[in-house]
């Protein structure tokens, strides 16, 4: 049996987890947690780059973040459906992550919305003993499901201070030269600009993290929604927590 993960981030395309939650993943690794990522497709429908180039970029970004494992499920880009359920369930049972991060319910990209539904369903069904039984299958249901922020309006449940890993997070994102703003790639390529390849998008990534950071009194923040309602038995956390504004 492979060593279990503490956290698994699951996304539709190879650069999605870096775009949304790279600072969080790097921070959790730095704090000693075992963190992994699962990309559902190779991004073969992408306007820029090729699946081969994107795989190289992903390997480089994975090393920068210090992830323990990263796999690609090879589902068809642009056609993420319930047919992928068995594959995601298998990965969940293999790595037994306690926390899952994935796309929120409201997303710009249809593949991201489909991934949200697929991952939620897989987290549930992976815990059912009679679902896709195999010779050495042990059912597993992750304890917590988190949704990272994307480009649509997003009301966070909480914001994580990622100031200490911001530089590392941006270094990981820059590994995706074919996808995000990279003047060198642009000079050597005839491919058209995309929603995320222009300089303005990278500036917005920074501005968004600054905005989330401002809300909690730090420089850079990454926002999440929690699937469920967080409870507490006392107010100790608030008594010991600095207020963002004095
Ligand atoms: Zn994507």
Domain-by-domain residue ranges, the chain? 7-240
221-226 and 158-161 as β-strands: parallel, antiparallel, unpaired? Answer: antiparallel
Q: How far apart are CA 46 and CA 26, in angstroms?
A: 26
CA of 15 to the centre of ligand 1 (A): 7
Greater confidence, 100 or 137? 100
Residue 228 per-residue DSSP state: S
Mean pLDDT over 94-119 rounds to 97
Place of tokens 């990263």: 70
Q: Which CATH architecture has domain 7-240?
A: 3-Layer(aba) Sandwich (3.40)
CA of 118 to the centre of ligand 1 (A): 15
Structure-block tokens of residue 100: 């899952």
pLDDT given for residue 115 in this prediction: 98
Q: Indicate the pTM of the whole model.
A: 0.94
Q: What is the pLDDT of residues 55-82, one digit of tens each?
A: 999 999 999 999 999 999 999 999 999 9
CA of 40 to the centre of ligand 1 (A): 10
Q: Please report, for residues 66, 100, 158, the alpha-carbon distance to residue 88 in angstroms, rounded to integers and kept in the order given.
A: 22, 12, 26
CA of 135 to the centre of ligand 1 (A): 34
Q: Please report, for residues 84, 188, 213, the alpha-carbon distance to residue 185 in angstroms, rounded to integers and kept in the order given.
A: 33, 5, 31
Beta-carbon count within 10 A of 130 CB: 8
CA of 12 to the centre of ligand 1 (A): 5
In the predicted structure, residue 136 carries a pLDDT above the cut 80: no
pLDDT given for residue 246 in this prediction: 56
**Band (240; pLDDT cuts 50, 70, 90):** confident
CA of 39 to the centre of ligand 1 (A): 9
Greater confidence, 84 or 246? 84
pLDDT given for residue 180 in this prediction: 79
CA of 170 to the centre of ligand 1 (A): 17
Q: How far apart are CA 184 and CA 106, in angstroms?
A: 33
CA of 212 to the centre of ligand 1 (A): 21
CA of 109 to the centre of ligand 1 (A): 7
pLDDT given for residue 242 in this prediction: 77
Strand partners, 11: 39
Q: What percent of the chain has pLDDT over 90?
A: 75
| Burial classification of residue 242, based on how many CB atoms lie within 10 Å of its CB (0-12 exposed, 13-18 middle, 19 or more buried) | exposed
Place of tokens 């359920």: 85
Q: How far apart are CA 199 and CA 244, in angstroms?
A: 31
Strand partners, 8: 36, 100
Beta-carbon count within 10 A of 211 CB: 14
CA of 184 to the centre of ligand 1 (A): 23
- 226-234: long-range contacts, CB 8 A cutoff, minimum separation 24: 226/144, 226/145, 226/146, 226/157, 226/158, 227/120, 227/144, 227/145, 227/146, 227/147, 228/144, 228/145, 230/157, 230/158
pLDDT given for residue 193 in this prediction: 80
pLDDT given for residue 60 in this prediction: 97
CA of 102 to the centre of ligand 1 (A): 11
CA of 48 to the centre of ligand 1 (A): 13
């Amino acid at each position: 049996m492979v060593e279990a993960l503490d956290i698994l981030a699951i996304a539709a395309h190879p650069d999605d987890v870096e775009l949304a939650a790279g600072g969080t993943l790097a921070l959790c690794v730095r704090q000693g947690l075992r963190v992994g990522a699962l990309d559902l497709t190779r991004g073969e429908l992408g306007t820029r780059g090729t699946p081969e180039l994107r795989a190289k970029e992903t390997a480089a970004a994975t090393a920068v973040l210090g992830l323990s494992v990263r796999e690609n499920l090879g589902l068809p880009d642009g056609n993420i459906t319930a047919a992928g359920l068995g594959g995601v369930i298998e990965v969940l049972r293999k790595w037994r992550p306690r926390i899952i991060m994935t796309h929120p319910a409201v997303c710009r990209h249809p593949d991201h919305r489909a991934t949200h539904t697929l991952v939620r369903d897989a987290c549930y069904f992976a815990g059912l003993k009679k679902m896709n039984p195999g010779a050495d299958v042990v059912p597993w249901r992750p304890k917590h499901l988190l949704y990272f922020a994307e480009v649509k309006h997003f009301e966070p449940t909480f914001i994580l201070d990622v100031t200490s890993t911001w530089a590392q997070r941006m270094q990981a994102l820059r590994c995706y030269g074919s996808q995000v703003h990279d003047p060198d790639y642009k000079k050597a390529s005839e491919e058209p600009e995309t929603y995320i390849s222009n300089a303005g998008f990278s500036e917005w990534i920074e501005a968004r993290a600054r905005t989330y950071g401002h809300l909690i009194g730090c420089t850079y923040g990454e926002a999440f929604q929690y699937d469920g309602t967080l409870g507490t038995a006392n107010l100790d956390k608030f008594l010991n927590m600095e207020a963002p504004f004095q």
